[in-house]
Every structure is written in structure tokens, then in C-alpha cells.
């Protein structure tokens, strides 16, 4: 009794298309980061752009490869809200933390 495995060439076409789309989007974002790194002067604007693009890339990777994009909205918000709170906390601590030196 021979085992016959039939392979359909179009079986994973949609998954491959999504992977290539993700690859090109991340490649373009990374190329933009390199372009910004070598053209803009160091400063707050450059750092803000890098942080923003890194957050966009991180959310895209989490949504695509960890399949969070395909989950229900309540699960997405349950994962997103603590991250937003931590970012807000870090920004608040960095901006308000310098005032301790003004008290003395």
C-alpha cells in the first residue's frame, strides 16, 4: 500500500503573501531608520522618530507573527493598555525626575 501525498502549490499562497508583505514593510521601515540616522542631526526629533518607528515595528511584528492582529479586540486591549501605561509612567518619571535636583 503506497502512501500518496498530494501537494497543492497554492496551499500556502496566502501565508507566503502575508510573510512577504511583512518583510517588505519592515524592510522599508528599517531603511527609513537608516536614512534618518545618517541625515538628521542628533537631538530630540531624531530620538522621537526612532522611538516612534520602533514602536510601530514592534506592534506590527507582534500583530503579524504573534497573531495578535487576528484576536478579539478585548484581548488586544488587555495586552495594549498595560504597555501604554508603562510608557506613560516612564515618560512621567523622566520628565518629573529631574525636578528633585531643583529642590535642594
For residues 31 and 19, give the distance between their C-alpha atoms in angstroms, rounded to a whole number.
18
Domain boundaries of the chain, sorted by first residue = 11-70, 72-104
pLDDT tens digits, 31-59: 999 999 899 888 888 888 888 888 889 88
* Region of residue 98 (phi > 0: left; psi between -120 and 50: alpha; otherwise: beta): alpha
pTM above 0.75?
A: no
List the one residue out of 35, 60, 62, 63 whose CA is nearest residue 49.
35
Enter the C-alpha cell of residue 98: 529631574
What was the pLDDT predicted at 27?
A: 94
Contact 32, 11 (CB under 8 A): no
> Do 68 and 76 meet the contact criterion of CB atoms below 8 Å apart?
yes
Amino acid at each position: 500500500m503506497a502512501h500518496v501525498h498530494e501537494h497543492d502549490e497554492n496551499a500556502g499562497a496566502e501565508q507566503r503573501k502575508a510573510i512577504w508583505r511583512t518583510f517588505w514593510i519592515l524592510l522599508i521601515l528599517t531603511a527609513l531608520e537608516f536614512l534618518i540616522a545618517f541625515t538628521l542631526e542628533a537631538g530630540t526629533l531624531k530620538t522621537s522618530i526612532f522611538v516612534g518607528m520602533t514602536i510601530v515595528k514592534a506592534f506590527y511584528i507582534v500583530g503579524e507573527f504573534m497573531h495578535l492582529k487576528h484576536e478579539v479586540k478585548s484581548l488586544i486591549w488587555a495586552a495594549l493598555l498595560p504597555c501604554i501605561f508603562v510608557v506613560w509612567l516612564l515618560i512621567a518619571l523622566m520628565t518629573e525626575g529631574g525636578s528633585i535636583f531643583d529642590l535642594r
